[in-house]
Amino acid sequence: MTDHSPDGSALHPIEILDLGCLDYLETHDLQRDLVAERSADRIQDTLILVEHPHVFTRGRQSKDDANILSPGDVPVVDVERGGDLTYHGPGQLVAYPIFKLRPDERDAPQFIRRLERWLIASIHDLGIANARTKWGFTGVWWGDKKLASIGIAVTAKWVTWHGIALNVTTDLAYFQRINPCGLRANVMTSVAEILGNKPRMNDTKAAVVRALPDHLSRGLPTPHQFESNANQLLYNS
């Protein structure tokens, strides 16, 4: 591991918390606790990796209830992040960066651009070479299909929370119950759909972690194989 990012800036130490599959509201409460701890400098930057049971979340920019088509038994939760309506569920890797941005990072739109580049590099590691951003939209796209969504919040002390959702082996049929981010549901795709096979979630997590130093300037500790145990701190530095 190097202790500097490609631009020469020092890497921040980081902890990676793999929660396995955990209820959205429980994870939301944990995020709040970690944000308070990070704001007070009682912990270092932390990246949560998690899958959620089926849930729709609606960001603070969502204005149109018409985007909720037929949720059925899937709950709809209003949250503080930016963005509109989206779906989380099994087979989707959600990552929540609880990062205290240093002075040269304190530009929320630019931080979102860095998250996009981080995801594109991670997806490339999985075998998808031409993922991209799309002008006028956040997230990561493959052609005209959306592969990953981004919605963050930033506190007054410049601590980030909420984050990204990458469709890995996601059941895309659940997007048919909403207009995701105000778009038609058939715009959504997944890593599995593009590759024609189902990548292991642990391999996806490892790819995401490997891309941290180059794109988010967070220190990558000695690599450790991701395990199936939930609620286990797998990396620290």
Within a domain: 138: yes
Within a domain: 210: yes
Domain membership of residue 212 as a residue range: 14-235
Q: Of 181, 206, 207, 220, which residue is the catalytic one? A: 181
Residues 6+ apart with CB under 8 A from 89: 51, 52, 53, 54, 55, 170, 171, 174
Within a domain: 3: no
Mean pLDDT of 169-179: 91
CA distances from 175 to 49, 73, 153, 204 (A): 21, 14, 23, 21
For tokens 């709809």, name the residue: 76
Residues forming beta bridges with residue 12, ordered by sequence position: 218
Mean pLDDT of 164-187: 88
Q: Which pLDDT score is estimated for 33?
A: 97
Of 47-51, 79-83, 155-159, the one with minimum mean pLDDT is 79-83
DSSP-derived secondary structure for 136-163: T--SEEETTEEEEEEEEEE-TT-BEEEE
Within a domain: 83: yes
- How many domains, in total, are found in the chain? 1
Is the whole model's pTM more than 0.75, yes or no? yes
Q: Is-catalytic flag, 181?
A: yes
Q: Which pLDDT score is estimated for 58?
A: 87
Within a domain: 42: yes
Q: Which pLDDT score is estimated for 236?
A: 41
Q: At what angle do helices 201-210 and 108-125 cross, to 10 degrees?
A: 130
Alpha carbons 170 and 192: distance in angstroms, whole number: 8
At 140-155, the pLDDT tens digits run 999 999 999 999 999 9
Mean pLDDT of 7-22: 85
| CATH at 35 | 3.30.930.10
Within a domain: 2: no
Q: Name the pLDDT band for 1 (thresholds 50, 70, 90).
A: very low
Within a domain: 202: yes
Within a domain: 8: no
At 111-147, the pLDDT tens digits run 999 999 999 999 999 999 999 999 989 999 999 999 9
